[in-house]
Amino acid sequence: MAVRFKFKQLIADKCLKHCSLNGQEYNEHRLLGFIRCQFSIVPSSQFFHKTFTVCGSYRYFSSSSRQNALAKLTPQEVTNILRENEYTQEFNFPSSVKSYDSNQLASNNPIEDARTEARGLLTTGILLGVFDGHGGAACAQVTAKRLFDYITVCMLPPDLLNKYLESLETNQSLKLLEMYNDKIDLLADLKEKYLETFKKFVKELSEMKSNSLDFQMKEVMEKAFLRLDQDLSLEALEKTDGKIDIKTLSVAMSGAVACVAHIDGPHLHVASVGDCQCVLGVLSDVNTWTAKKLTKEHNTENVSEVNRILREHPLNERETVIKSDRLLGQLAPLRALGDFRYKWSKEIMNQVVKPVFGENAIAPNYYTPPYLTACPDVVHHRLTPRDKFLVIASDGLWDLVSPLQVVRLVGEHMSGKVTLNPFRLPRNNMTLSEINTMLLQRKEGLKRKPIDTNAATHLIRNALGGTEYGLDHGKLSQLLSMPDEVVRLFRDDITVTVIYFDSEYLRHCPV
């Protein structure tokens, strides 16, 4: 993601227009031909209009990197790469969520995506989120680590909130959440700073809340997103011994888009900023799959979002606020956490940011900030037994496959997955007719027997290697063995979470 350029623009950029490759000068067309030839991959027409990140300095292909990219991976090596970060969590308590599968595949080094899943211990419900960073991994990682705490405390009733605040102040903190597959750890000094900021927020909440007020999930999620974003700003501008902390400033200068789902019984709330997407897989009475999108991307393809931004700025900025399909000609998402170089006043940019990051840190035509907001769109959906699963993913997945393709792939995976386990009768005293029906269904499922038990891995495999004739191992091998210098031209970081619902629980769930 990040500050993006279209593929043709990137190739035509002055740092690529005349580059030395094995002692020869290559212009735009010869370089593009070189990419096609060396990697045996011709980007389809959609990729010429697709956006790609420019990450740091661009290095060109050495002969060794070309050989590495051409080296074929074995099927087992491909599988090992795809399964390296997969994770499955099953829930054994009564809930509308049976389990979830997650996985990540990096393109950037380090990966700029993050993901978090947790169960509320002082509240009901399960939280799951995908965060897609840009301008570095810092903002996505910090947001993924902190946002769920902000959401949870906003849900606490006043008496429990006061009890939780008391536990914070006595350093005997009650545990808010049970985290799953939590691999992100923050630096000790940042942990301390973030805890003090969080205590201040909890104290303010406790003073505001009245026992007569019930929370609304939409307001909870909006408040949590906006307050965390505000705290990221304050932390970055706070001086210690008269100096700005470069670590918190770096978090603030990077950015992240996010999609977070809260599931509590039949109630599903989805909050999103940016271009991560959330899609519901719905099975009809005649066993056909439909995809219900629960998010709208905040980019220039969203006309209402563009109009919102234009309304917030003077008429004389209409030609510069959105330029080349980007905010101020630079940023692709039109909502994000962090990215304070599009939010802070011109005075702060000149006094704080410019001395550290240079004059180019201030975007052209920066007149009437803020240009960017972290306020999420929040959608509520009441789950029914027909809602079988939810897929949350960063745009690295949606760039390659459509929502309907994703739903069909997961649906086929659900059908074929049963054949990966030994056949067992679900109950005693089954009739021969019932057993015969099960065997016929299993025989049908064998036709779709997946390679992976994890649905997120299954999606990534098919997104990268899928063709109209099935999986292409050669394509997968090439896309997974490209050197760091060029891999971002062909795929982004991919993060996927697939959440499965318990149809029986939802069937008997009270309104």
What would the pLDDT profile of 232-281 be if each residue is shown by its tens digit? Answer: 999 999 998 889 999 999 999 999 999 999 999 999 999 999 999 999 99
- The full DSSP string for 100-146 is EEEEEE-SSSS--EEEEEEEESSSSSEEEEEEEEESSSHHHHHHHHH
Q: Exposure string (b/e) for 480-497, b if CB count within 10 Å is 16 or more?
A: bbbeeebbbbbbbbbbbb
What would the pLDDT profile of 79-91 be if each residue is shown by its tens digit? Answer: 999 999 999 999 9
Of the candidates 42, 257, 238, the one whose C-alpha atom is nearest the C-alpha of residue 144 is 257
What are the tokens at 437? 């029906």
Confidence (pTM)? 0.82
- The full DSSP string for 12-57 is HSHHHHTEEETTEEE-HHHHHHHHHHHHT----HHHHT-EEE--SS
3-state secondary structure at position 219 = helix
What would the pLDDT profile of 186-197 be if each residue is shown by its tens digit? Answer: 999 999 999 999
Average predicted confidence (pLDDT) for the chain: 85
- Give me the residues paired with residue 87 across strands: 102
Work out the pLDDT band at 511, boundaries 50, 70, 90.
Answer: low
| pLDDT of res. 426 | 73
Judged by average pLDDT, the poorest of 50-64, 225-239, 369-383, 388-402 is: 50-64
Question: Quick one: CA torsion of 35, 37, 38, 43, rounded to 10 degrees?
Answer: 50
Q: Exposure string (b/e) for 199-234, b if CB count within 10 Å is 16 or more?
A: eebbeebbeebeeeeeeebeebbbbbbbbbbebbbe
Work out the pLDDT band at 421, boundaries 50, 70, 90.
Answer: low
In percent, the amount of the chain with pLDDT more than 90 equals: 71
User: Strand 267-273 relative to strand 277-283: parallel, antiparallel, unpaired?
Assistant: unpaired
Residue 18 has pLDDT above 50, yes or no: no
Question: Is residue 235 a contact partner of residue 248, using CB atoms and an 8 Å limit?
Answer: yes
What would the pLDDT profile of 432-469 be if each residue is shown by its tens digit? Answer: 888 888 777 666 656 557 899 999 999 999 999 998 88
DSSP annotation of 6: E
Q: Is the peptide bond before 376 cis (omega within 30 degrees of 0)?
A: no
- Higher pLDDT pick, 25 / 211: 211
